[in-house]
Structure 1
Amino acid sequence: MPYAELGLKADEYARIVDLLGRRPTAAELAMYSVMWSEHCSYKSSKRHLRQFGEKTTEAMRERLLVGIGQNAGVVDIGDGWAVTFKVESHNHPSFVEPYQGAATGVGGIVRDIISMGARPVAVMDQLRFGAVEHPDTARVVHGVVAGVGGYGNCLGLPNIGGETEFDASYQGNPLVNALCVGVLRHEDIHLANATGPGNKVVLFGARTGGDGIGGASILASETFDAEKPSKRPSVQVGDPFMEKVLIECCLELFAQELVLGIQDLGAAGISCATSELASNGDSGMHVDLEKVLLRDPSLTAGEILMSESQERMMAVVAPDRLEAFLAVTAKWDVETAVIGEVTGDGRLTIDHHGRRIVDVDPKTVAHEGPVYDRPYARPAWQDALTDDAASARHLPRPGDASALRGQVLALAGSANLASAAWVTDQYDRYVQGNTALAQPDDAGVVRVDEATGLGVAISTDANGRFTKLDPRTGAAQALAEAYRNVATVGARPLAVTDCLNFGSPEDPDAMWQLVEAITGLADACRELGVPVTGGNVSLYNGTGEPGRLDSSINPTPVVGVLGVLDDVATATPSGWTEAGRAIYLLGTTAEELDGSVWSDVVHGHLGGVPPRVDLAAEKALAEVLVGAVDGVAHAAHDLSAGGLSQALVDAVLRFGVGAEVDLAALLERDGVDAATALFAESGARALVAVAEGQEGRLEELADTHGVRAARIGTTGGETLRLAGLAETVVELPLTELRETSARTLPRHFA
């Protein structure tokens, strides 16, 4: 059946017929198919995503200028400045055509930010690939990294951070999540609404071609056969130089107040832009489709509606401002076509060469699609995984200094903890001159106001292993880590965006993981007082049989946290630059090794329960770290993947200054063994190297907020020396650590 080829189910087609009171035209069928896709309508997750709004308190909304429902959320950061940020996925396209899939993922999220009236100022990427040694992983890695870097670099946007991880669960379903942040004044916010009968509908930017047709309904939703030729054209093709011109053109249009409403064209193309603009504005719209400028004149009406050609925007313009609007687009050499106008009849009508091909209520297309209450249940295999008799407490511990040393090096050289410089050095981190911190620091920091130094910090985090063991805890852990990272650089956390990457919603196991993760994240956001401003859900990330432990990717809720800094010049880096600085460990270490990098790298094990989330402790730690930005902290680094061991490795390698650490008192205080002290991934912990003479102030800060602080060492030298580990001393020259860390990714991909 034609509707099935477009990704619609039989009951969905029947509902369309019922809504229209007749059979849909081919163009209407195409429009409903893309707009009712999982990617565009969130039909399986919408019911559960409502928790984010329901659990947002009035206090959490104080700094929120625009929330969920628009192209991106907008947060008040003070002094009349606002920041908009959002993360989205482009996973399936990036497996089929890695370069263009990743590049257009960046382009799409940047246009979401432009459409809010903001100037994009930075991007981040959250990448997950298959097993590092798998022969197909290199194909995907090379294409994705080149696509992210190529598009972002051409736009002149600094890439200030992110993640690059490897796991066999992502072999057929890599994750390419892209984040963009933009800056604007409060009065410059623009919304995607079409109001005012007689106002013109203008399409401008690149011409519409055959690339990306059906992308939202097919490629970005259900499973697919990568060898089937019909799926390959679904990947969009990007032109970053066209997008750069489009950015400047849009900003000038905003500055001259020539736009009443604006919408970028991403997933579902013209179908999405027209129906969402009309629906959001509670109005109607008429479009003459033959006026759309085409790259390929052979496209059918349905293909024009579904095309996801990149670098296009749709604006609503008052008739008396149209001439000025066209003058600006002509100045920037941006092709423009007036394709329709706003009406007052509440209908979306589209003609093609005089023939009516679409006549629908736009709300039924954009906002009143199917909402499923998918069945879900705790997987039959979950108890066996979490009750695993070989959980980390039973795994063999290193028996002597040599074994302990080997395990520290094993973690430092593992694919997920080793230096990501081979990836990040392909990105420009400092273009525009406003980057204060960037990867490998705990969070990216960009200046917003040159006069005052006001700026923002952003961190994105996820832990698929923790989420596999316990989705509710894993999602909360992702939030806690991102929150902690933002606080570690000295910024006060304000708001959240998320990208929820899960398996098939038709698999009750994967659906349970999604519901648990949403609940855990919503509850944790409420407790930490940070609202979710928007984001993305990516489902059908699986190729295995439903009901199996390996049926889908490790569930991966990527959480981005944005915080504000009064002056980015005070931001705390993640490594020390001077000898003689006292090193403190803040927080308490527990025997929490389940799901850890140690259990994976050393023992090849995943089982048990993830570390407990203590959000009250996270808030208290954040207060100390934010307070320490005022001349107390010389450097700070959160403890997360790899535990204290990896935090110390990262800190000494950041600027090439070693450290001498004695953990004897810590082991006695927390009642843990050497392996636990070094490799446990308990939350709410951070390392702080204290500025000269500020030890008392840090201890006072920690005491005030009820955070345990232990002085564990001193910076300096050309080695990382670990003492006090049951009379064991581990000596690690920085040259050996650096070589171990730096060689991993180049060995596989350079």
Structure 2
Amino acid sequence: MGVYEKFNYPEVNYEIANEMGLTKEEFDKAVEILGRTPNYIELGIFAAMWSEHCSYKSSRIHLKKFPTDAPWVVQGPGENAGIIEIDGEICACFKVESHNHPSYIEPYQGAATGVGGILRDVFTMGARPIACMDGLRFGDISKDEKSRYLFEGVVSGIAGYGNCFGVPTVGGETFFHKSFEKNPLVNAFALGIVKKDKIFKAKAEGVGNPVIYVGAKTGRDGIHGATMASEEFGADSESKRPNVQIGDPFKEKLLLEACLELMKEDIIIGIQDMGAAGLTSSSFEMASKTGAGVELYLDKVPCREKGMTPYEIMLSESQERMLLVAKKGYEDKVLEIFDKWDLDAAIIGKVTDDGYVRLYWEGEVVGELPAKPLGDEAPVYERPYKEPLYYREYKHNDFAFVNLNLDKTFEMMISNPNIASKKWIYEQYDHMVRTNTVVLPGSDAAIIRLKGSKKGLVLSMDCNSRYCYLDPYKGGQIAVIEAARNVAMAGGRPLAITDCLNFGNPEKTDVMWQFVKSIEGMSFACEKLNTPVVSGNVSFYNETDGKGIYPTPTVVMVGVIDDVEKRLVSFFKQDGSIIYLLGENKGEIGGSEFVSYCLEMDEGEVPEPNIEENIKLINFMIEVANKSLVLSAHDVSLGGLIISLFEMCVKNKIGVEVNFDYKMEDFRYLFSETQGMAFVEVDPSKEKEFLQLAANFGVRTERVGMTGGKEFKVKKGRRVLLMYDLDELIAQYEGAIDKWMK
């Protein structure tokens, strides 16, 4: 009895191909490539490898616009993660990736396996992970119960996996908006440290070299996860629970240690994580990159469930697994190391030289496919795009404030889930494990100590989804600029980014326009800042019932601070300091949090990116930190000027009295999100030197007040605009999310 009879596979036709996610044209192309109709196993492989999630068929043509080179770039896009040089032979390896669809279907496991997957991307390269971050988007938790359920499950999943694995979650960002109600975004970032001469890549080469499966056993979880992540959701989304993988952080910790031990030996040719599409993607990608071929003996794959078919084994997305190619003759050494760590390891194939991946089951060929057309030469589409009608309609600056009371508005803003303290989230995470974290969550950027070096890594994750909806070109620029600015506010020098591009259905012209314009804006900013893109991820089809998310090109900027002891934080340090406002407030409130939350409008002209002014500010902040001329610094971003000032008071409960001088309306000035503004705290003894340096850099300064006391007092000339007991404000700010989650 042949395999087809044994496993009762159906005969392939277009209807079955369509159910798997292939179009009629793609099915015909598969037939043309093979010179015959693919069998059921082969069709499943085509569907997975040509899914948007694996092939990037709608985005690849535009991703080429990104700058990817700089003297410090060691590995750019195309591998599991990007790598930059930090200090001689010490390199940082990092990437951000999405796990959006799985997190909607099963929030705990969806988020947990997102963390697991990004950690494997990093240690597959030979790097030991030392930090994680997460970028989260949900519906309005103050109004929507399902959003609260998703929020709670996702945060628990991130904590559950990261804490157990033993890597600190050091920062991130969280944003709530109705456009994410049925499409939460879960973007997981990981960073590791690797020596330049110990970097490993995903490749299969050397005829006769063994292909070895290592890690956990294969189960039926996650089958067709890649294709599920490449389609819109509808009424049947709940039925897709079987497509979500199940994670085991303790197993992953063992896998990390086993892989790093193996990598100390000179016996690995290539190694690849079994992520989306599992054994299929890892084997085809490794073969495609070198033009080699691979034979796989699927009946040798360790399985945790009885009766698994070749189809299920190839497409399972079970977690904590790797595929590696070792040097011939060293098989026993590989098996010995993984046995020591109580992990499965099995020789399941060998490298060939004809460019084909051949699949065997008990000696019978059950699939035979060329690697290149399913890997590097997968289809590429130039989707049409068109400016949407709303784009011009919402470009205005006419806002009425007649019914607003300034005190009530300010209190509303600090209790707004987007502004309020995120302690409810980050207090669930272990951010001190491995003892490298020197700036904890809650500041503009996280800082990680490099043991054995004075240097530190500075990390910031940013994106304003509303800006990217109203003006994706400006929004894309601002995402990069704000991430760079936050790194500089901590005293770091921005070096490179990784991105996670979250959008709706690319087959819709307005979504594709948002995508293209965002990339063009990001590319422009990266070129100006000299911060190349070294890795990333695209997540399309974030739509449910035809309604898409606000475009969210999440940016993680990685920078370096030469002396970690000179780091800056974004909260006031002492009484009696002088407060300076850097930059010019132009009263830009279009697309702002104030207009959205208090006026209930997602409209307006998005603030100008002011990239040249921001570059001046960034360079200035790096220098003032190096010279220890300021005690703390915080840029103006979401919520505007007055919110940023208040946030600096919270951590150490230090009050302020400030007096602003302006000629515009109070609401425009106080809630302005003009780009390139920041508050800094200056000790009076350093004021003269600080002002001289600002003049040298051409940075505008305005002395606005002093720190001290227990009041938050804001004046305009002799008029008191706001006056509060600071403790009462902090209680509102820190209790807002907790109140909704109870």
Q: TM-score normalized by structure 1?
A: 0.95
Paired amino acid for 2:47: S
| Aligned 1:336-735 pairs, distance under 5 A | 336-387=345-396, 391=397, 393-396=398-401, 403-448=405-450, 450-545=451-546, 551-630=547-626, 631-664=628-661, 667=662, 671-724=663-716, 727-735=719-727
CA distance in 2, matches of 1:398, 1:697: 45
Paired amino acid for 1:314: L
**Aligned pairs, how many?**
726
Q: CA deviation at 1:298?
A: 2.0
For residues 19 and 610 of structure 1, do their structure 2 counterparts lie closer, same or farther at Cα, with a shift above 3 Å needed? same
- Asked if 2 retains the 8 angstrom alpha-carbon contact of 1:169 and 1:554, the reply is yes
CA distance in 2, matches of 1:110, 1:248: 12
> Does 2:68 align with 1:76?
no
Partner secondary structure for residue 544 of structure 2: coil
CA distance in 1, matches of 2:361, 2:303: 14
For residues 652 and 109 of structure 1, do their structure 2 counterparts lie closer, same or farther at Cα, with a shift above 3 Å needed? same
Counterpart of 1:740 (choices 726, 729, 732) is: 732
- Asked if 2 retains the 8 angstrom alpha-carbon contact of 1:592 and 1:610, the reply is yes
Partner secondary structure for residue 320 of structure 1: coil
Q: CA deviation at 1:591?
A: 2.1
For residues 11 and 726 of structure 1, do their structure 2 counterparts lie closer, same or farther at Cα, with a shift above 3 Å needed? farther
- Asked if 2 retains the 8 angstrom alpha-carbon contact of 1:444 and 1:458, the reply is yes
- Asked if 2 retains the 8 angstrom alpha-carbon contact of 1:398 and 1:404, the reply is no
Q: CA deviation at 1:723?
A: 1.3
Superposed CA deviations along residues 499-519 of structure 1, whole A, max 9, x for unmatched, are 111110111111111111111
**2:6 equivalent in structure 1:** none
- Asked if 1 retains the 8 angstrom alpha-carbon contact of 2:233 and 2:543, the reply is no
CA distance in 2, matches of 1:325, 1:136: 47
| Aligned 1:128-147 pairs, distance under 5 A | 128-132=137-141, 133-147=143-157
Superposed CA deviations along residues 201-249 of structure 1, whole A, max 9, x for unmatched, are 111001000000000012x111134645652100010000000111111
Counterpart of 1:272 (choices 281, 284, 297) is: 281
Paired amino acid for 1:210: R
- Asked if 2 retains the 8 angstrom alpha-carbon contact of 1:382 and 1:469, the reply is yes
- Asked if 2 retains the 8 angstrom alpha-carbon contact of 1:397 and 1:675, the reply is no
Please list every run of 5 or more consecutive structure 1 residues that lacks an aligned counterpart in the other structure: 546-550
Partner secondary structure for residue 433 of structure 2: coil
Q: CA deviation at 1:697?
A: 2.1
Paired amino acid for 2:637: S
CA distance in 2, matches of 1:703, 1:198: 66
> Does 2:181 align with 1:176?
no
Paired amino acid for 2:413: L
- Asked if 2 retains the 8 angstrom alpha-carbon contact of 1:456 and 1:562, the reply is yes
Partner secondary structure for residue 617 of structure 2: helix
CA distance in 2, matches of 1:214, 1:258: 33
For residues 74 and 397 of structure 1, do their structure 2 counterparts lie closer, same or farther at Cα, with a shift above 3 Å needed? farther
**1:193 equivalent in structure 2:** 203
CA distance in 2, matches of 1:78, 1:229: 48
For residues 712 and 284 of structure 1, do their structure 2 counterparts lie closer, same or farther at Cα, with a shift above 3 Å needed? same
Paired amino acid for 2:407: R
CA distance in 2, matches of 1:92, 1:716: 48
CA distance in 2, matches of 1:48, 1:161: 29
Paired amino acid for 2:63: L
CA distance in 2, matches of 1:468, 1:674: 26
CA distance in 2, matches of 1:732, 1:261: 61
For residues 162 and 748 of structure 1, do their structure 2 counterparts lie closer, same or farther at Cα, with a shift above 3 Å needed? same
Partner secondary structure for residue 319 of structure 1: coil
Report which stretch shifted further, 601-610 or 724-733: 724-733
Partner secondary structure for residue 386 of structure 1: coil
Report which stretch shifted further, 718-727 or 6-15: 718-727
What is the RMSD computed on CA atoms of the aligned residues? 1.4
CA distance in 2, matches of 1:675, 1:381: 25
Report which stretch shifted further, 488-497 or 431-440: 431-440
Paired amino acid for 2:387: R
Q: CA deviation at 1:676?
A: 2.4
Q: CA deviation at 1:739?
A: 1.3
> Does 2:169 align with 1:159?
yes
- Asked if 1 retains the 8 angstrom alpha-carbon contact of 2:232 and 2:545, the reply is no
Paired amino acid for 1:583: I
Counterpart of 1:335 (choices 344, 349, 354) is: 344
Partner secondary structure for residue 198 of structure 1: coil
Partner secondary structure for residue 439 of structure 1: coil
CA distance in 1, matches of 2:117, 2:257: 16
Q: CA deviation at 1:692?
A: 4.8
Q: CA deviation at 1:728?
A: 2.8
Report which stretch shifted further, 25-34 or 93-102: 25-34
- Asked if 1 retains the 8 angstrom alpha-carbon contact of 2:502 and 2:553, the reply is yes
- Asked if 1 retains the 8 angstrom alpha-carbon contact of 2:713 and 2:720, the reply is no
Partner secondary structure for residue 183 of structure 2: coil
Q: CA deviation at 1:573?
A: 0.9
> Does 2:39 align with 1:25?
yes
Partner secondary structure for residue 102 of structure 1: helix
- Asked if 2 retains the 8 angstrom alpha-carbon contact of 1:350 and 1:358, the reply is yes
Paired amino acid for 1:459: S
Paired amino acid for 1:349: R
Q: TM-score normalized by structure 2?
A: 0.96
- Asked if 2 retains the 8 angstrom alpha-carbon contact of 1:87 and 1:178, the reply is yes
- Asked if 2 retains the 8 angstrom alpha-carbon contact of 1:192 and 1:263, the reply is yes
- Asked if 2 retains the 8 angstrom alpha-carbon contact of 1:196 and 1:343, the reply is yes
Paired amino acid for 1:510: V
Paired amino acid for 1:38: E
**2:29 equivalent in structure 1:** 15
**1:548 equivalent in structure 2:** none
Paired amino acid for 1:565: I
Paired amino acid for 1:697: E
Paired amino acid for 1:48: H
Superposed CA deviations along residues 343-362 of structure 1, whole A, max 9, x for unmatched, are 12221111111121221211
Q: CA deviation at 1:397?
A: 6.0
Paired amino acid for 1:117: G
Paired amino acid for 2:32: D
Report which stretch shifted further, 508-517 or 723-732: 723-732
For residues 397 and 688 of structure 1, do their structure 2 counterparts lie closer, same or farther at Cα, with a shift above 3 Å needed? farther
Q: CA deviation at 1:672?
A: 3.1
Please list every run of 5 or more consecutive structure 2 residues that lacks an aligned counterpart in the other structure: 1-14
Paired amino acid for 1:416: N
- Asked if 1 retains the 8 angstrom alpha-carbon contact of 2:92 and 2:193, the reply is yes
